[in-house]
């Protein structure tokens, strides 16, 4: 590794994380929101793997594997909810789901 310090990876991770958060907060379409959540999780994975490489230990990668598994499960369930929501409300826009409003 020449010139590439863990910091580079961490910065990439931070940037990806920010992009994902922005995406969650700025898009109205729930599908895109879910995609943004995947970006966030991936940013976390980059972080974990970078430190795993730095510490010469695979524990970080194990953790990243588990994150991946949970992310997959969460995506599947979330999309199932989205379908059910679409069938009931006829919309996939987060703005129109305001039952939490006082």
Partner 1 sequence: MVDSAHRLASYALQASLLAPLAGTAVIFFGGGFRTSPRAIPQRWPGVLAVALAAVSLALSIAAAFATSHGGAISIQAGEWIPGFGPAFSLQLDWLSSWLLLLLDIIGLMVSLFSLGYMKEERDQRRYFGCLLFFIGMMKLLILSGSYLLLFAGWEGVGLASYLLIGYHFERPRAAGAATKAFIVNRIGDAGFVLAIIALALTCGSTNYGAVALAAQRVPHGTLVLICSLLVVGAVGKSAQFPLHVWLPDAMEGPTPVSALIHSATMVCAGVYLLARSTFLFSLAPEVGVGVAITGAVTALFAATVALVENDIKRVLAYSTISQIGFMFLALGLGANRAAMFHVVTHAFFKSLLFLGAGSVIHALHGEQNLKHMGGLRKELPVTFWTMCIAGLTLAGIPGLSAFFSKDLILEAGFESGHTVLTLIGIITSLLTAVYSWRLISLAFYGESRRHRLAVHEGPVSMRVPLIVLAACCVLAGWIFVPIHWEAWPTMITSSFLAFLGIWLASHYYVGSPEARLAFDDRFAPLTNFLRNRWFIDAVFEEHIMEGLVLRTAAGAAAADAMLIDRAVDGAAWSSRQAGEGLAWSDSSLIDGIVRLVSAAVRFLSWPSRALQSGFVQSYALLFLAGVLAALGFCLSR
Partner 2 sequence: MIEAVLFYIFAALTLVGGVLTITRRSAVMSAVWLTVSLLGVAGLFLTLGAEFLFVAQIVLYIGGITLLFLFVIMLVNLDAAAQVRQFRRAWPVVVLAGIGLAAELIALLIKGKVEWLAGSPITPGNSEALADLLLSHYVVAFEIASVLLLVALVGSVLMGQQRKRSKEQVEG
Q: How far is CA 59 from CA 7, 47, 65, 66, in A?
A: 19, 13, 10, 11
**Binding characters for partner 1, 5-44, by CB under 8 A (x = yes):** ----------------x--xx-------x-----------
**Per-residue tokens: 4:** 């590439």
CA 51 from centroid of its chain's CA atoms: 19
Q: Choose from partner 2, partner 1, none: what does 14 bind? Cβ within 5-8 Å by kind.
A: partner 2
By beta-carbon proximity to partner 1, the closer residue of 14 and 69 is 14
How many CB atoms sit inside 10 A of residue 23's CB?
Answer: 18
Residues within window 37-66 making contact with partner 2, judged by CB under 8 A: 38-39, 42, 45-46, 49-50, 52-59, 61-62, 64-66
DSSP assignment of 33-77, as one string? HHHHHHHHHHHHHHHHHHHHHHHT-SHHHHHHHHHHHHHHHHHHH
Site for partner 1 in 34-93 (CB under 8 A): none
CB of 9 to partner 2, least distance (A): 7
Interface residue list for partner 1 (CB under 8 A): 21, 24-25, 33, 94-95, 97-102
């Amino acid at each position: 590794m020449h010139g590439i310090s863990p910091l580079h990876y961490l910065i990439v991770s931070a940037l990806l994380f920010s992009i994902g958060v922005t995406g969650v907060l700025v898009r109205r379409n729930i599908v895109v929101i879910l995609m943004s959540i995947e970006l966030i999780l991936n940013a976390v994975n980059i972080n974990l793997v970078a430190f795993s490489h730095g510490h010469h230990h695979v524990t970080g990668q194990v953790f990243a594997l588990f994150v991946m598994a949970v992310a997959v499960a969460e995506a599947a369930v979330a999309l199932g909810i989205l379908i059910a929501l679409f069938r009931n409300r006829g919309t996939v826009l987060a703005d129109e789901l305001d039952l939490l409003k006082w």
